[in-house]
């Protein structure tokens, strides 16, 4: 009987590992007649359970602050703790960026963009400038989507840009749902952990050899 219990547990664990983990991201930018708002929402769900959620809304309610000033103050509040020395902090920050980039590269082909929707309305009173900005925005969106498609295939994509030649306005709504199997995320995380340990071990051996070589 214990054999069947173990077999059932093994099969259930294997089934869970191959189930998809879903990430949903939504970004809304609103700038109309001097009113600036930015909202960010992100969540991760596994089956019907939400395991992580983030929601932020920023606006220029204070007339003395612009949107970017508010975002800067929010960033400073999150990083108001005492930071280490500049050299050490820059090294850690650079290491985190490399780790994120390496994680994205290792996830290539292991994730799927189930849905991507990006609607933008941009306008101004100068028709020629509005047309030039619209064309540049189309080129930017095309290049970004081409880069993303190299990392993960698309299933449903909706991209739209609507120029407004009468009013200065910027409204952009971005929604994206990405899925990946839990086993792939665990595999990539373990792979990066092993590489980091190997890099640390090689650095430790090199430092010992350098120390021994010094008379």
Task: Please give the share of the chain, as a percent, with pLDDT higher than 90.
Answer: 27
Burial class of residue 7 (count of CB atoms within 10 Å of its CB; 0-12, 13-18, 19+): exposed
Strand boundaries in the chain, DSSP class E: 20-32, 35-46, 49-59, 111-123, 157-164, 169-181
Secondary structure (3-state) at 69: helix
Inform me whether the pLDDT recorded for 59 exceeds 80: no
C-beta pairs of 192-200 under 8 Å, 24+ apart in sequence: 192/99, 192/102, 192/103, 192/106, 195/102, 196/99
Q: How far apart are CA 24 and CA 27, in angstroms?
A: 10
Task: Please give the share of the chain, as a percent, with pLDDT higher than 70.
Answer: 75
How does pLDDT run across 149-204, given as a tens digit for each residue? 888 999 999 999 999 988 888 999 999 999 998 888 888 888 888 877 887 777 77
Which one, of 20, 18, 17, lies nearest residue 155 by Cα? 20
pLDDT band at 71 (very low <50, low <70, confident <90, very high): low
C-beta pairs of 137-141 under 8 Å, 24+ apart in sequence: 137/161
How does pLDDT run across 119-156, given as a tens digit for each residue? 999 998 888 999 999 999 999 999 999 988 888 999 99
* Confidence at residue 122, expressed as pLDDT on a 0 to 100 scale: 92
Domain boundaries, the chain: 20-180
Range of 27-31, 32-36, 102-106 with top mean pLDDT: 27-31
Q: How far apart are CA 76 and CA 78, in angstroms?
A: 5
């Amino acid at each position: 009987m214990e054999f069947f219990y173990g077999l059932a547990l093994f099969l259930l664990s294997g089934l869970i590992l191959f189930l998809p983990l879903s990430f949903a991201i939504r970004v809304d930018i609103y700038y109309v007649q001097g009113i600036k708002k930015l909202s960010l929402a992100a969540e991760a769900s596994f089956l019907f359970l939400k395991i992580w959620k983030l929601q932020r809304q920023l606006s220029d309610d204070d007339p003395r602050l612009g949107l970017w000033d508010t975002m800067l103050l929010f960033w400073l509040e999150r990083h108001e703790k005492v930071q280490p020395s500049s050299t050490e902090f820059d090294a850690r920050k650079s290491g985190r960026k490399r780790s994120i980039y390496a994680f994205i590269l290792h996830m290539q082909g292991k994730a799927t963009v189930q849905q991507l929707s990006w609607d933008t309305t941009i306008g101004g009173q100068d028709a020629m400038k509005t047309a030039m900005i619209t064309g540049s925005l189309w080129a930017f969106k095309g290049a970004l989507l081409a880069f993303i498609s190299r990392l993960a295939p698309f299933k449903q994509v909706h991209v739209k840009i609507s120029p407004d030649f009468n009013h200065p306005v910027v409204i952009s709504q971005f929604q994206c749902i990405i899925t990946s199997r839990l086993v792939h995320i665990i595999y990539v995380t373990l792979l990066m952990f092993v590489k980091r340990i190997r890099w640390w071990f090689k650095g430790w051996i090199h430092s010992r050899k350098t120390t021994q070589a010094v008379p």
